Structure 1
Amino acid sequence: MGGSTTCDTKSVFIKLARLNAAGAVIRNIALNAAFLAADAGEPIQMKHMASATFSESLKSGSGLIDSTKGWV
């Protein structure tokens, strides 16, 4: 895997900070993304973050999905 597929931590934090979500929800998203990446044997990527955000949005019924446009 090259540098283009590796998640840039700073950019992820910036994107997560722009979510209209409580800190606990952001923590859940980050944790879910880490598990998704580990299960795939990959470093955390925006596809993992977007998938985790989608899952969290379904659980909470919030509009987080719109916030992930352009992440992957």
Structure 2
Amino acid sequence: MYGEHHALIEDFPDYRETIHRLKVEDAEFARLMTEYNRLTKEIEGLEARDEPVTDDYMEARKRERVHLKDRLYENLMAAV
């Protein structure tokens, strides 16, 4: 949704400590989270600046972000 922030900790506030622990201890989780944050920043920046990009480009970025979020969530649930 336009204007909505998608920080992982905001989406899963009950797992804040686990997210932090995994970010520090699990290199793959940290890599996925870095990519998720980079992609979120790109999408939010394009939306905020109302950049002229194609719908296909924006939808592809959002699908990629959902895929990353799903992988992060799987890793998070496996660590709980």
TM-score after normalising by structure 1: 0.40
Rg (Cα) greater in structure: 2
TM-score by length of 2: 0.37
Instruction: Name the one with the larger helix percent.
Output: 2
Q: Which has the higher contact order (CA 8 A, sep 6+)?
A: 2
